[in-house]
Amino acid sequence: MKKVKDIMSRDLTSVTEDTPLKDVAEVLSLRGINGIPVVNNKNEVSGWISERDLITNIFPEKVKIENPDVIGLGNLSQVVKKLTQVGSAKVKDYMSKTFFPVKEDTSAADVAELMLHKDLKRVPVVRDKRLIGVVDRVSLAHILLEEGSLD
C-alpha cells in the first residue's frame, strides 16, 4: 500500500506566527495554493493558515458575499477598516491551531479518509514535529485515479 512518503510533495513552503497576513496572501497568490503550514524557528509545525482564514476575517460576519445588496456604505467602511487591520496583523492572530499532520509512513488510504472527513485540501507531513512536506487533495486524487486503487 502506498505511503505518504510516496505521494507527498517535498515542499517546505511555510510562514511563521509573526509573518504579516499581507505576506501570507502574497505567498498563497504567487504559489497558487490555498493554505500553508505555520512553523516555529525550528521548522516545527504549530498551525495552519488558509485563504479561508484570511477571507473570513476580512469580511464582517453580517456581510454576505452571496448577497451584495447588504453591503451598504456602512458595511463597506467596516470592510475597508478591517482590511487595513488584517493586512498588518500577524499570522498568530488568525491561524488555525487545530491542524492535522500526517507522518511519512501513514498510508495513503488513511490520509484520503482524513482529508475527506475533515474537508482538508492540504495537510502537513512531519517528522519529529518538523515539516518535511505536504499532501494535497489534487495530487492524492491524481494518484488514486492513475493507479485505480491505493495499493
Partner 1 sequence: MFVTITLNPAYDHLLYLHDVEIGQMNRTHSTIQMPGGKGVNVASTLAILGEEVVATGFLGGQGSRMFEEALRNIGVTTNFIYINREIRTDFYIIEEAQNRQTLFVEEGAPIERRFLNSFKDNFDRLLTSAELIEIGGSLPNGVSPAFVKELIQTANRKKVKVVLNVQEHIIKDCLCDGVRVFILNPDMRGCEDLCGKNVCEIELRPPVARDLFIAKGADMVILNSHSFEYTVVTKDEAWHGEIEPGKSANKLGVRDSLLGGFIHNYLKTNNTGEALKYGLGAVLSTARHKEHRNHPNSKAEVEELRLMAKVRKVS
Given the rule CB under 8 A, which residues bind partner 1? 9-13, 16, 23, 26-27, 30-32, 39, 41-43, 130, 132-133
Q: How far apart are the C-alpha atoms of 125 and 102, rounded to whole Å? A: 5
42 backbone dihedrals φ, ψ, rounded to 5°: -110, 15
Nearest to 25 by CA among 108, 67, 83: 83
CB of 10 to partner 1, least distance (A): 4
How do 45-50 and 102-103 pair as beta strands? unpaired
**Residue 137 and residue 115 in contact, taking contact as beta carbons nearer than 8 Å:** yes
Residue 37 or 99 having the CB closest to partner 1: 37
Burial bucket for residue 56 (CB in 10 Å: 0-12, 13-18, 19+) = exposed
Quote the least distance from Cβ 117 to partner 1, whole Å. 27
For partner 1, give the closer residue by CB, 24 or 115.
24
CB 88, min distance to partner 1, A: 14
CB of 133 vs partner 1, minimal distance in Å: 7
Q: Which is nearer to partner 1, 54 or 132 (CB)?
A: 132
Q: Which is nearer to partner 1, 115 or 132 (CB)?
A: 132
